[in-house]
Amino acid sequence: MIETPYLLFLGDAPDQLAAKVAQGIKDWRPENAVGQLRLEGCGADVGLTDMTLEEAKAAGARTLVIGVANRGGVISQAWKDVLIEALGMGFDLASGLHNLLTNEGDLVAASQVSGGTLHDVRVPNVQYPIADGKKRSGKRVLAVGTDCSVGKMYTALALDNAMRARGMKSTFRATGQTGILITGSGVPLDAVIADFMAGAVEYLTPDNDDDHWDIIEGQGSLFHVSYSGVTMALIHGGQPDALIICHEPTRTSMRGLPDYTPPSMEAVRDMALALAKVANPACQVVGISVNTQHMSEAEAEAYLAKVEGEMGLPAVDPFRQGAERLAEAIANL
């Protein structure tokens, strides 16, 4: 188990999106976060108190969590200086990066001296099966996006809260490092060998009560040439009964792909639904989740109304408005 509370390490994150791990923990488990630690030039701020290691230790922090999801998941030397110092002060370290803590000899050596624990949440700890595509009892909903980092995890967590508030049976199923750090369990899907990814999703969402919903955390995008494979595994392994389209309308290019324009919501709807019907012919698209963080309240309301009229589906920003209307759409299936 990862010891709480956390000090969230933002390092030199170039922008707010790069700090989505820290932001997710702060928003969904604020009781687990005592503060944030930022290096010079950091372009992110999750709204917690800036602390030194000494201040965080005095405030009771037990684990320094790398709250950054940078492209390639690299641990720089500047980060290492802080991480080694933290170990020497008695902190444990936790990370969801592809660059594993336990692959870094100097971090391993420092942890052996201090007795600190290195937690790599992106390391699969289960021998996942190959998917067999057999129909499972229970129901499942998956968020699929026009791009990476558009709010699929936030949509799933907000939907889980809204469904529980309605008295529905639901479970959030984490498939990425942030979700795992928030909930304490899940499948680090992008670290699973490709042949077993869909099987890992089947493992994560097993047979359940007929009226129980698994809320599957989405990853990547079918239209993102870097990360489409993980989305495909979620669609077929998850066998969703319902899809929610997630979109951020203010983007001019795909995340990390400046030469690629984001697809339309209609294009994602049509492609994702066709692929989902391969594993579950009864699958339906039930709603739209729009990330309006860069819009004013009036702009957001106007845009959501426009999308709802064009798509013929409830369109909400779960962060601004909650996910009650999405929960209602699922309850009415």
Residue-wise pLDDT tens digits, 50-76: 999 999 999 999 999 999 976 656 788
Cα separation of 303 and 315, whole Å?
A: 9
**Mean pLDDT score of the chain:** 95
Could you read off the pLDDT of 81-124 as tens digits, one per residue? 999 999 999 999 999 888 899 999 999 999 999 999 999 998 88
227-256: average pLDDT: 97
Higher pLDDT, 69 or 321: 321
- The predicted structure's pLDDT at residue 38: 97
285-313: average pLDDT: 97
- The predicted structure's pLDDT at residue 158: 97
221-226: average pLDDT: 97
CA 328 distance to own-chain centroid = 23
- The predicted structure's pLDDT at residue 184: 79
- The predicted structure's pLDDT at residue 69: 77
- The predicted structure's pLDDT at residue 58: 97
Does residue 12 have a pLDDT over 80? yes
- The predicted structure's pLDDT at residue 183: 86
Ranges 10-24, 130-144, 278-292: which has the least confidence: 10-24
- The predicted structure's pLDDT at residue 70: 67
128-144: average pLDDT: 97
Long-range contacts of 262-270 (CB under 8 A, 24+ apart): 262/146, 262/147, 262/223, 263/146, 263/221, 263/223, 264/146, 265/146, 265/307, 265/311, 266/311, 267/223, 268/144, 268/145, 268/146, 268/221, 268/222, 268/223, 269/243, 269/245, 269/311
The proportion of the chain whose per-residue pLDDT surpasses 90, expressed as a percent, equals 89
- The predicted structure's pLDDT at residue 20: 87
The proportion of the chain whose per-residue pLDDT surpasses 70, expressed as a percent, equals 99
Number of other CB atoms surrounding residue 195 within 10 Å: 10
Helices (H) and strands (E) in the chain, counts: 12, 11
Contact 92, 116 (CB under 8 A): yes
Cα separation of 300 and 30, whole Å?
A: 26
